[in-house]
Amino acid sequence: MTLKQCAAKCRKECNCTAFTTLDIKYDTGCLLVYNELIDIHTFPDNGQDLYVRIATIKIEKDHERVYKSKKMVITFIVVLIIIVVFILGLAILLGHCLKAKGGLVPLREDNVPDLPLFDLPTLFRATDNFSDNNKIGEGGFGPVYKGLLEDGREVAVKRLSRKSTQGVEEFKNEVIFTSKLQHRNLVKILGCSIQGEEKLLVYEWMPNKALDIFLFRETEKHLLSWPQRFHIIKGVARGLLYLHQDSILRIIHRDLKPANILLDHDMNPKISDFGIARSFGGNETQTKAKRVLGTHGYMSPEYAGKGIISTMSDIFSFGVLVLEIMSGKKNRQFFCHAHNHNLLGHAWILYKEGKSLELVDESLIESLLTQEVARSIHVALLCVQSIPEDRPDMCMVVMMLNSECCLPQPKRPGFFTQDGQFGPASSSSMQTQVSNNNVTITNQVPR
């Protein structure tokens, strides 16, 4: 019998439990095994195949056991992957939290264009390790240094000071606003750097630095002629008009002052420092600030006293700026023996007496164009009127500066009282802090 015939015979007999060949060498003959397998021998060399019958139910159970084992392995692998992904996600979240705690916030938003990121060693080399010899100024954010990049570009590097009153939100504002706003009278940001405790902003280089240097230093005043001053006034006005009406965001700067007006090679003015700026959406025209941020002497009465922010806040600051450009004197540090008023009150008194030209800086007398000067002072007084609704918007201001249209009579300026004392600013509801170095300061206003 062949092996195949032997297998057929074993299947026909119910008590046949196994079969094999009798002749191992030629694989012929048939050996049937009945009932239990006993006395099974082990053959030398390659041994002999023994075919054992197994019940179908046992095979199914074996398959089921194998399937369950595979299923358990797959389940274990899936659970392991989920645990690993969860741990990685937790680690990333923890990293973000730690960064936020250290003053870092993600800056990549859907509505924020990508900015070049400078690595810290590059900026250290560019500024000679932030050498004092390269320091060109300091504001509320921190010191500013001149830098020279490896490609030969000159830049200004603003470094957040650990002692600064400004922090994460101000840094984020500066990046978002300066990266999205593009205008010839706004400073251009080139990139930023965020590494550990270091937060730095990199700007285009302004060789003539800030306007306050030319206005308030006796050795520099004569370098700024009236045509240049009038050019600066109109440039700042155009920049504010863009911020208030023409940009994709309606921006209130909140800290407009000479120190934040930078000058390029041709003395073109560029508004800088958007750390405490606010954006308005839709038809929103004003809001109330949780904190009053800004610099004394430039804040409007409604903002300093009640925290009300609107475009009229910037209009008031612009009026103060113009009067300082005309006179070469700081509003908060102005003193006149004849009265106790600040620069705004002094300009108002001279205007009422028909002596506005007496406000003008002595260094301008030779280059003076009387009509332009008188008009500029008049427009400035319209901007610093006490009631916000009386002030012109920036569109009107630009038009009045560039035309000879008839101007309305200005009303009393903000903070003006008959006894020469400051009005709303002297209220006991404000915690006043005087800034000696003209940096941005914060007032807490109770609600």
State phi, psi for 369 to the nearest 5 degrees.
-110, 100
The residues, any chain, with a CB within 8 Å of residue 320's CB and separated by 6 or more, are 257, 297, 298, 331, 343, 344, 380, 384
Distances (CA, A) of 322 to 81, 236, 315, 350: 66, 10, 11, 16
Residues present in the chain in total: 447
Please report the sign of the dihedral spanned by the C-alpha atoms of residue 135, residue 136, residue 142, residue 148: negative
User: What are the structure tokens assigned to 331, written together?
Assistant: 């509003």
Task: Report strand pairing: 135-138 vs 198-204.
Answer: unpaired
User: What are the structure tokens assigned to 404, written together?
Assistant: 């000879």
State the catalytic residue, choosing from 27, 49, 62, 255: 255
**255 noted as active-site residue:** yes
CA distance 384 to 298: 10
Long-range CB contact pairs, 389-395, < 8 A, 24+:
389/312, 391/312, 391/315, 391/316, 391/319, 392/315, 393/244, 393/245, 393/311, 393/315, 394/237, 394/240, 394/241, 394/244, 394/245, 394/311, 394/314, 394/315, 394/318, 395/241, 395/245
User: What are the structure tokens assigned to 69, written together?
Assistant: 């084992």
User: What are the structure tokens assigned to 340, written together?
Assistant: 């106790």
Local structure of residue 416 (DSSP, 8 states): -
Please report the sign of the dihedral spanned by the C-alpha atoms of residue 246, residue 247, residue 248, residue 249: negative
What are the catalytic residues?
255
